A and B are shown apart, each in its own frame.
Chain A
Amino acid sequence: MELAFLIEKVAVVVILFVLTLTIAAYSTLAERKVAAFLQDRVGPDRAGPFGVFQPLADGGKMFFKEETTPNGANKWLFIAGPSLALLTSFLGSAVIPWGQPINFFGRIVPLQVTDINVGILYIFGVVSLGVYGIMIGGWASNNKYSLMGAVRGASQNISYEIAMGLSIIALLLVTNSLSFKVIAEQQHGINWNFWYQPLGFLIFLVCAFAETNRVPFDLPECETELIGGYNTEYSGFKMGAYMFAEYINMFVSSAVMATLYFGGYNYPGMDFVNQHLGTTWGPLVGVAVLLGKILAFIFFFMWVRWTVPRFRYDQLMNLGWKILIPLAIANIVITACVITFFDKF
């Protein structure tokens, strides 16, 4: 392993890390701004012009607040919960291809931390681990309400992971690959997977809402029933870590959806742009396009949050087990039939 390769990877990782943190921090501001705009308000606008320093103020507040640990709590697990939630939410972004390989002063740098040939399985593994953050945090608090919230979160995530996995199987029938890099390359121009898998995308989208614990599936957090949820006993920076993990999850799942179904860094007319801008600036336009798609998805998450009321818990389970899973299986069967038909004749 040569030194240049190491530097290149470290640079990509650091940029990605900073980018993820920045977007997650500004998602908190965007959430409040979007909420305000949808409700005919202005939103936070006191910290800097249009409130651009609000995330810094919020972060500072979180940092300097008193942190309490409940008497009966398991000290280690109480710290492990938010750490794990934050860690697993970061891990997902490692396999996303952020752009075509870029020519950086004569060196071809792939804009991807690592191309695992089973990238989709990796994402699923990491997303499943995310449940542990919630579960351990709720369990370690030694509080019945926290535990109830954690149980809700865990059962919800497990139920929706099945439908999510099934919707991905139909996608794999189309792409014939588990590698994110290959899947992104296949969707050149506007040849996006969404046109082949609209139903699969819909199922994936609904499941993504459930996996990130966003409205209308935000059952693990509930003031009226659970005095807060799995994070009832958390305060200060640990609480901030949980909140941050939620926004990073949202960012990563938006990136996954954009890459799997909406072409990632591909956009119509990209060949023309690449020809004229060269191999350095051309891929960067692709990166900007991908970021635009991700931000659009994040806005969509927020838009839904401030429109739709939440589900009741039995409705949530009904939707997951009785509607989404059969629908996903039907989607697989139909996709398989169509593909076989076109292959044979």
Chain B
Amino acid sequence: MESLSGRKKVLEQKPMTFMERIYLPAIFKGMGITFMHMFKKKETTYYPEQEREFSENWRGMHSLKRDENGKERCTACGLCALSCPAEAITMTSAERQKGEEHLYREEKYAAVYEINMLRCIFCGLCEEACPKEAIYLDGPIVPSEFLRKDFIYGKDKLVELSITDLEAQKGVLA
């Protein structure tokens, strides 16, 4: 039949020549190729010490953002949890009290916000669902742990550091 694409190639099944039938020349050729690979540059990245470069839109660990005044943006609306296909996110909301205006941007906030990193598939749907631009997957690789419970990340690990925290950290370093 005529080939529609015009790219069809018919391979002829020729009987092997004597040199091909004794295998050895081909084997030595292959061994030469593998031997040359010994002197090539190694592709390995020594992971914990070295990290390979990530692309701009790479999705890593989540972080809960603060606004320009250092207040938490999350209002515990639950849209991220609803959009999560892996059901990794859970939260408990609470009402902002008097005197906490400098901590939370709106009257409602997430008292508990947990992401199970073993369930999370890093699809980024929570990021897309968030109406307050409060969650982004812009962190590093999630580190390994020995226990399952240690993979449930609470607000202590997720919330971005505030300006005062950063300054306190600098003070410790200085």
User: Given B27, B38, B41, which contacts A308 in the complex, CB threshold below 8 Å?
Assistant: B27
Is the beta-carbon distance between A307 and B42 smaller than 8 angstroms? no
Q: Mark B16-38, 1 if CB is under 8 A from A, else 0.
A: 00000000000100110111011
Residues in A neighbouring B30, C-beta threshold 8 A: 307-308
A39 interface residue, CB < 8 Å from B?
yes
Is the beta-carbon distance between B44 and A303 smaller than 8 angstroms? no
A37 interface residue, CB < 8 Å from B?
yes
User: Given A40, A41, A42, A303, which contacts B35 in the complex, CB threshold below 8 Å?
Assistant: A303
Is the beta-carbon distance between B37 and A37 smaller than 8 angstroms? yes
Is the beta-carbon distance between B41 and A307 smaller than 8 angstroms? no
Minimum distance in angstroms from B32 CB to a CB of chain A: 9
B156 interface residue, CB < 8 Å from A?
no
Residues in A neighbouring B37, C-beta threshold 8 A: 37-40
Is the beta-carbon distance between A41 and B43 smaller than 8 angstroms? yes
Is the beta-carbon distance between B40 and A40 smaller than 8 angstroms? yes
A1–B133 Cα distance when bound, in Å, is 91
Which A-chain residue is minimally distant from B33 (CB atoms)? A307
Is the beta-carbon distance between B42 and A41 smaller than 8 angstroms? yes
Q: Which residues A8-66 have CB closer than 8 A to chain B?
A: 37-42
Residues in A neighbouring B46, C-beta threshold 8 A: 42
User: Given B33, B34, B44, which contacts A42 in the complex, CB threshold below 8 Å?
Assistant: B44
Minimum distance in angstroms from A198 CB to a CB of chain B: 12
Is the beta-carbon distance between B38 and A37 smaller than 8 angstroms? yes
Instruction: Pick the most buried of A303, A304, A306, A307: most chain B CB atoms within 10 A of its CB.
Output: A307
Is the beta-carbon distance between B42 and A303 smaller than 8 angstroms? no
Q: Which residues B32-83 have CB closer than 8 A to chain A?
A: 33-35, 37-38, 40-44, 46
Is the beta-carbon distance between B38 and A42 smaller than 8 angstroms? no
Is the beta-carbon distance between A40 and B34 smaller than 8 angstroms? no
Is the beta-carbon distance between A40 and B42 smaller than 8 angstroms? yes
Is the beta-carbon distance between A40 and B41 smaller than 8 angstroms? yes
Is the beta-carbon distance between A38 and B44 smaller than 8 angstroms? no
Residues in B neighbouring A306, C-beta threshold 8 A: 34
A256–B31 Cα distance when bound, in Å, is 23
Minimum distance in angstroms from A67 CB to a CB of chain B: 26
A50–B35 Cα distance when bound, in Å, is 20
Residues in A neighbouring B44, C-beta threshold 8 A: 41-42
Is the beta-carbon distance between B31 and A303 smaller than 8 angstroms? yes
Minimum distance in angstroms from B43 CB to a CB of chain A: 5
Is the beta-carbon distance between B27 and A307 smaller than 8 angstroms? yes
Q: Mark B98-119, 1 if CB is under 8 A from A, else 0.
A: 0000000000000000000000
Residues in B neighbouring A307, C-beta threshold 8 A: 27, 30-31, 33-34
Residues in B neighbouring A37, C-beta threshold 8 A: 37-38
Is the beta-carbon distance between A38 and B38 smaller than 8 angstroms? yes
Minimum distance in angstroms from A302 CB to a CB of chain B: 10
Which B-chain residue is minimally distant from A37 (CB atoms)? B38
Instruction: Pick the most buried of B27, B30, B33, B38: most chain A CB atoms within 10 A of its CB.
Output: B38
Which B-chain residue is minimally distant from A41 (CB atoms)? B44
Residues of A within 8 A of B (CB): 37-42, 303-304, 306-308
Closest 5 CB pairs of A and B: A42-B44, A307-B34, A38-B34, A37-B38, A307-B30
New A-B contacts (7) at CB < 8 Å, excluding given A38-B38, A40-B40, A40-B42: A38-B34, A40-B37, A40-B43, A41-B43, A304-B27, A307-B30, A307-B33
Give 12 A-B contacts (CB < 8 Å), ordered by A residue.
Answer: A37-B37, A38-B35, A38-B38, A41-B44, A42-B44, A303-B34, A303-B35, A304-B31, A306-B34, A307-B27, A307-B30, A308-B30
